Amino acid sequence: MLGLPSADQSRQAPRGPAAALFAADQASRGLGMELVHVGRGTAVVQMRVALQMLNGHSIGHGGYVFMLADTAFACACNSDGAVTVASGAEISFIAPVHEGDVLVATAAERARYGRSGIYDVTVRRGDDVVAEFRGRSRTLG
């Protein structure tokens, strides 16, 4: 897992441009997401699945899993300070999530070329992979 710390291993609050971006992200923080780690081109964000995040099948709504992965992606691609936005993303759901599950999204840069980038995010519940996300970024200006 790229040598990134797990959610329970982090000791210091993340700092830098991505941490400032996350601090201003009302949507993600409003869902209880926590920025656990940020490094150059990497980020780890966690979230506990709450009752209001369940769909009609009583499993976690995919939109919340996508949002968690997207938030980790945003932190990773903004880690060097350049204003960067998503140009597209896709997700594969591998396993359902349930109320009370703590999900950890680990993002890593795979390629940067010009103002574009590709990032992969793995969402886990413990050791189990529940989703894989690929985001495409575009640096502005």
Instruction: Give dist(CA 44, CA 33) in Å, integer.
Output: 10
68 Cβ contact list (under 8 Å, min separation 6):
33, 45, 47, 103, 105, 123
Confidence of residue 13 (pLDDT cuts 50, 70, 90): confident
Give residue limits of the domains in the chain: 17-139
* Residue-level pLDDT at 14: 81
Confidence of residue 21 (pLDDT cuts 50, 70, 90): very high
Choosing among 3.10.129.10, 3.40.50.800, 3.30.70.20, 3.30.870.10, the CATH entry for 17-139 is 3.10.129.10
Q: Which two tokens stand for residue 76?
A: 């990773």
- The average pLDDT across 88-104 equals 98
- The average pLDDT across 39-48 equals 97
